[in-house]
Structure 1
Amino acid sequence: MSLRERIHAVAGTETLPLLIFLGLVFLAFSLATPLFLTGANLRSMAFQMPVLGLLTLAMLVPILSGGLNLAIIYQANISGLALAWTLIQFGGPDAGIGAFILGVTLAVLVGALSGAVMGAVVAYVGAHPILVSLAMMIFLRGLGEFLTRGGDISGFPEFVNILGHGSLAGIPVPMIIFILAAIVWHIMLKRTRHGFSVYMVGSNIKASEYSGIHTRKTLVTIYAISGVICAIAGIVMAARFNSVRVGHGEALLLVTVLACFLGGIDPFGGFGRVLPVAIALIILQALSSGLNLIGANQHLSTAVWGLFLIAVMALRWVGLRWRSRQRKGT
């Protein structure tokens, strides 16, 4: 086996271009500013990325199935609101660990229920996922604004801050949560029957039905699991901001879609892996942090992200053409 074949076997063809870009981004910013590779900046990146990462994982599986979940931000916020409400009912800053566990359980149930409702409508009514998730997004936003009167809910116990600002063995707790979620996602997609069904449904839902896959059950499960990871993101956001507000993270919705496409997820479903998406998230965070350190306008990072997506697509196209010629030559 040649070196190129070994690299492809380990990293995958969609991962190699991202690793190249990751190295170039780190090299460029390390030369541009000595602050980029400092422990303080890398630690800051590790605290900032997990919320976007968790929301991206919530977006990933619906896209793999050929759908989309536009409600992820508001599922996260309404789940965080469920946690906040529980803590407030049990004394706010004086609430104990039991109240927190109850609040987390309620938050996860709210996220799962909102996702399951979307999945059921998509599966049994046949409505398009974009329309269904858009309707859920509007509903959850209105419900959240009604419950909070458009304001924030704050006043959590001190130990909740650990989830947003704490570290374990030098690794930020939010990053640990994201890594564990990514590992679970990878195992679910690659090692379980449900993961196989997700890819099959995304590739061809009619063929999946003929092959004996319970496509309706699969779709309901997909969106329910997406809701669960949204709830986890909402809990981390509540701990990071020490408050819950309906509008937290609104700007991240399109970035999650961008991260999925950068990570090689087929926009039509049926193909994609977790590892390339995780690398894409690191690149996006590095671009944002690097531009901030060199004093660039914060809005410039959005434009750079778009150019980066174009560059990655161009590099993949070149790679496909090159491999095609290699096969013809052999």
Structure 2
Amino acid sequence: MFASTTLTPLRDRLTRDPHVTRLAVILVLLLTFFMLVKTKNFFGIATWQSMAVQFPEFGLMALGVMLTMIIGGIDLSVVGVANMTAIGSATLMMSIAPTGADSPQGYLAVAAAIAFSLIVGAIAGAFNGFLIAKVKIPAILVTLGTFELFTGIAVIITGGKPASGLPAQYGEIMAQRVFGIIPMPLIIFILATVVIALIMYKTAFGTKLYMLGSNETAARFSGLKTDNLIIRTYMTSGIYAAAAGLVMLANYNSAKADYGSTYTLLAVLIVVLGGVNPNGGSGRLSGVILAVVVLQVLSSLLNTFPNISNFYRPLIWGGVLLLVIVVNQWTKKNGLSRLFGVKGNKS
């Protein structure tokens, strides 16, 4: 009786969210296949630690993109923001603590760089939001344009070369392992996820995001300050992109304008795969987190096959994105008929 009572809410939750069910099944299948074909790698702790270091780069970007898609927008500038802020942070750190600087100076440089990165990310996101909310330019055009703008700024700062020579203290902090096991990038991602969860489900701001995404006109007439909400949403996305840039800076020990070039597509794929409606108004954080894990496991599985070149990754991610969109359309009521322009019979 107790087991039945306990499992009932879980069954109800899975029934209400088919995206989570689908992703859970895919994850189990991937893990089973991984375990069977790469038994040694699957059970090695180094494999899982490597995954935990890698996925926060695009996972943090996906969290920001998720918020913008919930309100019916999109943010294609996340990689540009990440690289621009990472390059700015690297330049600032090297100016405060050049080679040979003492330890306290290095830690001061790290603190200043982190604060600088998050502030610049917020400003970049607010700029996106201003153009969308106030100037009334479609989000896809604004963020595509600012992606090029931010990338261009990054190229100008570095001359197209990697910014390297960071203080050792930055690498030491980001290489820490909590309890000797959990990598720092994973801790950052977990904290960022908790903050997003609080925003979405425990604040009026989160409720207003869904209202805005469901019907902007109705939200405006109900008294919501829609322009303010849009700007704050894109500002949050910019902050998360900047946090992703800091993780990339640590993982590569350098910054460059073209790092993570496939992450924009990957972030959008994660959000759509996680069940967020591209038209806005619906989507759950749990589905997006599960999508992050699924794509990281798939990526790590592909890495174990040397015959599969990394050049195929964009092809794979693009194909998966199109497949997910078609499947989502298929599962809607009369979705397949609408997809092919066939009108259903009226009774």
The two structures have a TM-score, normalised by structure 2, of 0.86
Cα distance in 1 for partners of 2:255, 2:139 equals 27
Which residue of 7, 16, 20 corresponds with 2:10? 7
Map of 1:257 onto structure 2 = 268
Deviation at 1:246, TM superposition (A): 1.0
* CA shift in 2, pair 1:79/1:302, >3 Å: closer
| Conserved? CA contact 2:58–2:267, under 8 Å | yes
SS of 2:114's equivalent? helix
Deviation at 1:314, TM superposition (A): 3.9
Q: What is the total number of aligned residue pairs between the two structures?
A: 321
Residues 228-276 of structure 1: per-residue CA shift (max 9 Å, x gap): 1111111111111111111111111101100111100101111111111
Pair 1:220-2:252 in alignment:
no
Map of 1:200 onto structure 2 = 211
Map of 1:106 onto structure 2 = 116
Deviation at 1:295, TM superposition (A): 3.2
* CA shift in 2, pair 1:301/1:157, >3 Å: same
Letter paired with 2:10:
I
User: Gaps spanning 5+ residues in structure 2: where?
Assistant: 335-347
Cα distance in 2 for partners of 1:74, 1:289 equals 25
Letter paired with 1:80:
A
Residues 43-66 of structure 1: per-residue CA shift (max 9 Å, x gap): 111111111111111211111111
Letter paired with 1:24:
L
Deviation at 1:317, TM superposition (A): 5.3
Pair 1:53-2:59 in alignment:
yes
User: Equivalences for 1:292-311 in 2 at 5 Å?
Assistant: 292-298=303-309, 299-305=311-317, 310=323
User: Gaps spanning 5+ residues in structure 1: where?
Assistant: 322-330
User: Equivalences for 1:280-319 in 2 at 5 Å?
Assistant: 280-298=291-309, 299-305=311-317, 310=323, 314=327
RMSD: 2.3
Cα distance in 1 for partners of 2:324, 2:222 equals 38
**More deviation in 31-40 or 68-77?**
31-40
Cα distance in 1 for partners of 2:289, 2:127 equals 28
Residues 148-171 of structure 1: per-residue CA shift (max 9 Å, x gap): 111111111212113543311110
* CA shift in 2, pair 1:208/1:238, >3 Å: same
User: Equivalences for 1:48-87 in 2 at 5 Å?
Assistant: 48-87=54-93
Residues 50-90 of structure 1: per-residue CA shift (max 9 Å, x gap): 11111111211111111111110011111112211211111
Cα distance in 2 for partners of 1:259, 1:98 equals 36
Letter paired with 1:247:
D
Identity between Structure 1 and Structure 2 (%): 31
Map of 2:152 onto structure 1 = 142
Which residue of 158, 174, 195 corresponds with 1:184? 195
SS of 1:15's equivalent? helix
Cα distance in 1 for partners of 2:80, 2:196 equals 21
Cα distance in 2 for partners of 1:136, 1:238 equals 21
